[in-house]
Amino acid sequence: MNDTSHTARLLVACPDDKGLVAEITRFIADRGGNILDLDQHTDPDDCMFFARVVFDLHGLNLSMDAFILQWNTLADQHEMTWRIHDASQHRRIAILVGKTDHCLREILWRWEDGELPCDIPFVAGNHDDLSPLATRYGLPFHTLPVDASSRRVQEYQIETLIQQHHVDLIVLARYMQILTPEFVSHFPNRIINIHHSFLPAFAGAKPYHQAHRRGVKLIGATCHFVTDDLDAGPIIEQATARVGHRDTLADLIRKGKDLERSALMTGLQLQLEDRIIVHGNRTVVFE
């Protein structure tokens, strides 16, 4: 992994204007920051400017608090929506699961292997099936059963855990429960889900059964942010695979699990590396 111990990542979105790249880079350079990477995109449809800037903090001649205070002046001038993150500070993610283990296994394996720059304070599920897997990795597992009558009570328990552990990001690793609008509203663009379908086709229950009956030639999985609209939040990543008439239902399910793991891991990695800007119901992804 690259050394990110003394770097910062700045994400910017604002109405397009001449000289924005020059102003941003000059601002950083004038304060001793050395730009290591810069990627920008202008959307011609709504005249919006987006940028991701990574810069070295070693030579910064002021504190990060002072940098942000001064940056606010420039940001206000251009009506910027922005965020900055010190890459040395690992994000804290909470993982919510059901009974299916393949996505959780992928996350924990890559996390233990050092591929995911994050801390995982706990795993929670509405069933206890995956408790032994979390325990194997030294992680606390909270079993929080839920039904229609106890949904908000159970979500309040999750919210309490999130607050206690200062969680930055929530990952639904095949957590097969619909979150209430009240819960989602507390964490805008902070809940990532993996949907076992190439959205919007075959949404709902048993997508691979539906796909198999239709004789599809392409299956997929979609990683997206969670919003009030079920499975309709901003899309982060999609993965697909070709299938044919010789593929059985078991083949589709097996291939689908591989796609789910791949799309979820890519989406999670992109978010942890500050490569995603949400704009309306779309995303700008700096890969």
User: The domain that contains 198 carries what CATH number?
Assistant: 3.40.50.170
In a domain, 147, yes or no: yes
Instruction: Tell me: do 98 and 198 sit in the same domain.
Output: yes
How far apart CA 232 and CA 76 sit, in angstroms, is: 31
Report d(CA 83, CA 68) in Å as an integer.
10
Query: What integer pLDDT is reported at residue 128 of this predicted model?
Result: 96
Mark whether 119 and 255 lie in a shared domain. Answer: yes
Last residue of a domain, one of 57, 86, 115: 86
Nearest to 222, CA basis, from 210, 207, 237, 208: 237
Clarify whether residues 114 and 80 are in a common domain. Answer: no
In angstroms, the CA 282 to CA 235 distance is 7
Do both 236 and 265 map to the same domain?
A: yes
Query: Of the listed 43, 119, 231, 251, which one is catalytic?
Result: 231
**Cα 252 to Cα 96, 127, 261, distances in angstroms:** 25, 26, 14
Q: How many domains does the chain have?
A: 2
Burial of 258 per CB tally in 10 Å (0-12, 13-18, 19+):
middle
Dig out the tokens for 194 from the structure: 């993996």
Question: Which of residues 65, 86, 107 is at a domain's end?
Answer: 86
Q: What pLDDT is recorded for position 1? A: 43
Structure tokens at 210: 């539906």
Q: 75: buried, middle or exposed (CB in 10 Å: 19+, 13-18, 0-12)?
A: middle
Q: Is 147 a catalytic residue?
A: no
| Range(s) of the domain holding residue 125 | 91-285
pLDDT in tens, the chain (287 residues): 455 668 999 999 999 999 999 999 999 999 999 999 999 999 998 999 999 999 999 999 999 999 999 999 999 999 999 999 999 999 999 999 999 999 999 999 999 999 999 999 999 999 999 999 999 999 999 999 999 899 999 999 999 999 999 999 999 999 989 999 999 999 999 999 998 776 556 666 787 787 777 777 888 899 999 999 877 889 999 999 998 889 999 998 999 999 999 999 999 999 999 999 999 889 999 98
